[in-house]
Amino acid sequence: MAPITVGSLCSGCDGLGLALEALGCEVAWQAETDPIAAILLRDRFDVPNHGDLRTAAFTPVDLIAAGFPCQDVSDAGRRAGMRRGNRTGLWFDIAEIVGDLHPSWVVLENVAQLARRGLDQVTHDLARLGYVGRWGTFTAAAVGAPHKRARLFLLASHTDSVRRTGWAHSGGAVQQTVRIGSDTAGSGTRHQWEPSPAYHQRVPPRDHLGKYEEAVVRWEHQTRPAPPLADQWGRVIPEFTEWMMGLPPGWVTDLEAARRPMLRIIGNSVVPQQAVHALQRLSALLEK
């Protein structure tokens, strides 16, 4: 069976695209305006980047994915809610694209606060366009990451669609079926990054991690050994945050970019392992 083709909107460094490809999908195109992230997408995916989704023309795909801006619904942001013209209001443009392309599936990701500051609008628009779906809040900690990062994920299927995603799994335990980390930056392709060797023995104590050491070691077992936490000036280094986010080594930090833009791109990403878990669970609910 041909893979599910994905159109990625608000792509960033496309951690959501990584998750979907780990589930067997194929990213066909992306839409990202940030110039540094655009360089990353070109080097990592080599598919068309259509830039500004509000003015681009897109080809049909099986699935539209979007981790759209959260600034207007996040507790850390403006809390203004979703409105046309603001950052989170890009949803209205995304809904128009969904209506035009009529994909079989829609995958959305945002902060958990979307549930009370805009999800009603999202689900109303999807229902109007002929979609049924499931949503839920999932944490990165649930898959072993050393931080909570509660995020809302939504999976919707068009009522005309008869094909199943094939992602569903049953049972309450988290199934760690996907490795997205690697020990060697740039090893392999985005489809098949070389997995880390099993990291089963506890690393020597690292006093500077304090109470967080156990959480760090747990994530090392799921991914790869953690890079150093900070540089010589005591600043958290991008390589450490990249590891915390479950991204392959060098996915962002191989770029010739300053520290702060790299941290911003990493911080706006999706933890791929978290997204895989969320989409497996939502698929199981949707395809009962």
- The CATH number covering residue 93 comes to 3.40.50.150
* Backbone region of residue 55 per phi and psi (left: phi > 0; alpha: psi in -120 to 50; beta: other values): alpha
The verdict on residue 156 lying in a domain is yes
Rounded Cα gap, residues 240 and 149, in angstroms: 16
pLDDT, one tens digit per residue, over 64-83 is 999 999 988 988 877 778 88
Q: How confident is the model at residue 207 (pLDDT cuts 50, 70, 90)?
A: low
Residue 113 lies inside a defined structural domain of this protein: yes
| Greatest CA separation for the chain | 57
Q: Higher-confidence residue: 38 or 184?
A: 38
Mean pLDDT of 237-259: 95
- What is the average pLDDT across 159-169? 85
Hey, what amino acid is at 154? L
Please indicate, yes or no, if residue 104 is contained in any of the structural domains. yes
Residues, the chain: 288
Identify the residue with better confidence: 23 or 203.
23
User: Is position 261 within any domain?
Assistant: no
Whether residue 98 is contained in a domain is answered as yes
The DSSP secondary-structure symbol of 207 reads G
Selected residue with higher pLDDT from 208 and 17:
17
Lowest-pLDDT range of 59-63, 94-98, 117-121, 167-171:
167-171
Strands 26-31 and 63-66: unpaired
In a domain, 238, yes or no: no
Catalytic residue among 10, 13, 25, 70: 70
Q: Could you list the residue range(s) of the whole structural domain that residue 119 is in?
A: 5-170+271-286
Average pLDDT over residues 114-121: 94
CA distances from 88 to 11, 77, 127 (A): 14, 11, 19
Number of domains the chain contains: 1
Q: Which of 153, 146, 179 is nearest to 273 (CA)?
A: 179
Tell me if 123 is assigned to some domain. Answer: yes
Q: Which of 4-8, 177-181, 192-196 has the highest mean pLDDT?
A: 4-8
**Span 228-238, pLDDT tens digits:** 888 889 899 99
* pLDDT averaged over every residue in the chain: 87
Q: What is the pLDDT of residue 185?
A: 33
Task: Specify if 117 maps to a domain.
Answer: yes
Examine the residue annotation and report whether 13 is marked as an active-site residue of this protein: no
